[in-house]
C-alpha cells in the first residue's frame, strides 16, 4: 500500500471555516496535515497564504487552498512553475483536474460550494491518479507557452 501524501492547507479569512472542516476530515482519513494559515476569520490578504503552500507542494505535499471564491488563490498559485492549481466546484472537476491536468493544489471557494460537495471534491482529488499518456505532452506544452 502506498503511503498517503502529506497535505498542506492555506486559506484567508473567507475560507477559514471550510479549511478547518476539511483539515479535520482528512485527519480522520489518516493524512498528516500542515496548516499555513489563516488562523481565524479576521480579515487578511489571501495572497499571504499562497507562497507557504506552494513551497510545500514543490517539496511533494498536496496542497489545498480556500478563499471566498477560490479565484484569487488559483490565479496566485498558478504563477509558480511546477504548480497546477485547480479551482473545483464539484467532484467531476476534481477528478478531471487530477486525471488530465495532474493538479497538485485543489482550490475551493467557501462562499460558492456546499460543505458536502467540498468534501467530495477533496476525497476525489486525493484518490484520483494522473493518467499520463497524451496528457503529459499537453502539460509540457503549457510549460512552454509564449507570445512569440
Q: Which of 13, 84, 100, 135 is catalytic?
A: 100
Annotation says 135 is catalytic? no
Helix (H) or strand (E) holding 64: strand 62-67
Q: Which CA distances in Å does 129 have to 31, 83, 94, 103, 115?
A: 17, 16, 11, 10, 23
> Which residues lie closer than 8 Å to 1 by C-beta, 6 or more apart?
none
- Active-site amino acid positions: 100
Amino acid at each position: 500500500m502506498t503511503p498517503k501524501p502529506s497535505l498542506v492547507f492555506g486559506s484567508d479569512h473567507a475560507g477559514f471555516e471550510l479549511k478547518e472542516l476539511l483539515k479535520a476530515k482528512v485527519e480522520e482519513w489518516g493524512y498528516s496535515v500542515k496548516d499555513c494559515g489563516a488562523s481565524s476569520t479576521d480579515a487578511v490578504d489571501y495572497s499571504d497564504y499562497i507562497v507557504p503552500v506552494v513551497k510545500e507542494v514543490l517539496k511533494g505535499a498536496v496542497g489545498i487552498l480556500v478563499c471566498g471564491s477560490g479565484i484569487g488563490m488559483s490565479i496566485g498559485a498558478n504563477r509558480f512553475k511546477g504548480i497546477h492549481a485547480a479551482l473545483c466546484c464539484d467532484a467531476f472537476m476534481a477528478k478531471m483536474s487530477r486525471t488530465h491536468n495532474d493538479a497538485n493544489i485543489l482550490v475551493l471557494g467557501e462562499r460558492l460550494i456546499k460543505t458536502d460537495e467540498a468534501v467530495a471534491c477533496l476525497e476525489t482529488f486525493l484518490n484520483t491518479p494522473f493518467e499520463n499518456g497524451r496528457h503529459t505532452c499537453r502539460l509540457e506544452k503549457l510549460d512552454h507557452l509564449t507570445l512569440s
